[in-house]
């Protein structure tokens, strides 16, 4: 959605890999600011958009012409620091700070809980949990959508501590396979 809105803000949309508005670097910058703001919340998306070119942050720094050459470096270091201190992004990290400051402020910033949240960066009483690695074994996995067989008879063994890859052309069923293994798509009989 952000890419579509960004395209509508441009007078012309041309992608050839080298234009300023849709270059590879510009795409990476958009993703980085989205992650820094916070992917899991609307507030994080808004905060991330403020840091993009034309946003409030760039307008505040526009008077410092010499700093523009160092913005990619500053942004990269800032992104690493954000991910180290608050992996859910700046919005969530600051929401937690506001919640600590007082419950009156926290009610103005609603929280959408993440079901997989296991770490609160502001709680010091949490202890690390050690998880025993396990092997993922899949036998005869098939997925059909109506009469279309998207995945048929797949066998996998994913061992811990090893890097595995899943490659194939568009439409080969890579995403459907992962969705079936993780439970997002119901598998069918082989």
The structure's pTM equals 0.43
pLDDT tens, position by position, 81-90: 888 887 888 8
Position 119 scores a pLDDT of: 57
Position 138 scores a pLDDT of: 92
Position 154 scores a pLDDT of: 92
The three-state DSSP-derived secondary structure of the chain is CHHHHHHHCCCCCCCCCCCCCCCHHHHHHHHHHHHHHCCCCHHHHHHHHHCCCCCHHHHHHCCCHHHHHHHHHHHHHHHHHHHHHCCCCHHHHHHHHHHHHCHHHHCCCCCCCCCCCCCCCCCCCCCCCCCCCCCEEEEEEEEEECCEEEEEEEEEEECCCCCCCCCCCCCCCHHHHHHHHHCCCCCECC
Residue segments in the chain with a per-residue pLDDT below the cut of 50: 190
Position 135 scores a pLDDT of: 94
Position 112 scores a pLDDT of: 59
Backbone angles phi, psi at 136, to 5 degrees: -95, 120
Position 30 scores a pLDDT of: 77
Position 118 scores a pLDDT of: 56
């Amino acid at each position: 959605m952000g890419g579509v809105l960004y395209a509508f803000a441009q007078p012309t949309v041309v992608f050839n890999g080298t234009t300023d508005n849709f270059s590879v670097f510009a795409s990476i910058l958009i993703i980085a600011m989205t992650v820094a703001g916070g992917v899991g919340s609307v507030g994080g998306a808004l905060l991330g958009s403020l840091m993009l070119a034309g946003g409030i942050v760039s307008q505040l720094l526009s008077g410092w012409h010499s700093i523009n050459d160092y913005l990619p470096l500053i942004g990269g270091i800032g992104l690493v620091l954000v991910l180290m201190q608050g992996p859910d992004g700046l919005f969530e990290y600051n929401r937690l700070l506001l919640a600590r400051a007082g419950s009156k402020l926290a009610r103005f910033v609603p929280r959408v809980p993440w079901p997989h949240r296991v770490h609160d960066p502001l709680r010091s009483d949490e202890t690390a949990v050690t998880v025993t690695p396990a092997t993922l074994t899949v036998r005869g996995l098939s997925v059909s959508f109506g009469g279309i067989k998207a995945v048929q008879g797949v066998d996998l063994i994913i061992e811990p501590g090893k890097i595995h890859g899943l490659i194939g052309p568009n439409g080969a069923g890579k995403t459907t396979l992962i969705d079936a293994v993780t439970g997002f798509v119901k598998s069918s009989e082989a």
